[in-house]
Amino acid sequence: MKFVTAVREEERFIGVVKNEAVINVSALAASDGKKVARTLLEGIQQGEAFTSAVHHLMNTANASEYTYQLEEVQLLAPIPRPSKNVFCIGKNYRDHAIEMGSEADVPENIMVFSKAPTAIIGHEEGIPSHSNITNQLDYEGELAVVIGKTGTGINEAEAMDHVFGYTIINDITARDLQQKHKQFLLGKSLNGTCPMGPWIVHHSEISNPENLMIETKVNGEVRQKGNTSDFIFDIRTMITELSKGMTLEAGDIIATGTLAGVGKGMKPPVFLKAGDTIEITVEGIGTLRNEIVE
């Protein structure tokens, strides 16, 4: 199932995308006298009970009454406001680590930084240019993992049992702020610089998340292209390392790192400007599209 948070006629609801249409699960449940989560984040926190309830609702006779075409709704970020910062894995593709420095920059241990929840926006929402703060805005197309089961000290054998599903993140970065402050948080957390979506695909529909093609286009030009099979640190390692002494909670988001081909890595560097459109496509999930706006 593809889970969304959507708006139609000022009503925000949990939905499931099916055959280019959106089923309003929230309204469908209410019509059937059933209760589902108020938000998708709450549903994820309920675990498999939530997905089972949604699956049952979608097969009820009156589901068609609460089904809309995709163009009739606005898709928000699937989790518009996570309960904590987005976990980001740095330099998780060898070629990207090298383009940002040298062979010596390929990490021996997992690198982690974060993006503030206020950075999150949805599919087709405008990314602010922040031209009064930065002139080096850059893109990073990434597969993201959504945690579905809370845990601490998770071992690798059980790590994938803690995954709810997968989505796409554009880790927009102000490279000059990153350099100025000698750390990642400020350059990664400007408002509107974490597009996410267009939906979360349940883990049952992604047989191997470590064999997915990823492609990033800027104004139709392919800038990044590769496969998650090139991870330096796999998803099991990410979950295990993050949960050592720190609780990973249902609804937490892990951005798994970006490929070579970012604007800063070009010679000379090419940064984003107002009017540029970034499209990130991940096999088995879909395409996340956003435009830079003033």
User: What is the residue extent of each domain of the chain?
Assistant: 2-75, 86-293
Tokens of 169: 């993140």
* Cβ pair 137, 172 in contact under 8 A: yes
Sign of the Cα pseudo-torsion (7, 13, 16, 18, in order): negative
Is pTM, for the whole model, over 0.85?
Answer: yes
Instruction: Label residue 102 exposed, middle or buried (CB < 10 Å: 0-12, 13-18, 19+).
Output: exposed
Long-range pairs for 208-212: beta carbons < 8 A, 24 or more residues apart: 209/143, 209/145, 209/166, 209/235, 210/234, 210/235, 212/143, 212/282, 212/283, 212/284, 212/285
* pLDDT given for residue 101 in this prediction: 85
Q: What is the CATH number of domain 86-293?
A: 3.90.850.10
* pLDDT given for residue 60 in this prediction: 85
Bridge partner list, 87? 114, 254
Q: Which is nearest to 64 in space by CA: 21, 35, 26?
A: 21
Q: Which residues of the chain, if any, have pLDDT below 70?
A: none
* pLDDT given for residue 102 in this prediction: 83
Distance CA 271, CA 174 (A): 9
Distance CA 283, CA 143 (A): 10
* pLDDT given for residue 288 in this prediction: 98
**Torsion angle of C-alpha atoms 291, 134, 184, 160, degrees rounded to 10:** 0
Instruction: Label residue 249 exposed, middle or buried (CB < 10 Å: 0-12, 13-18, 19+).
Output: middle
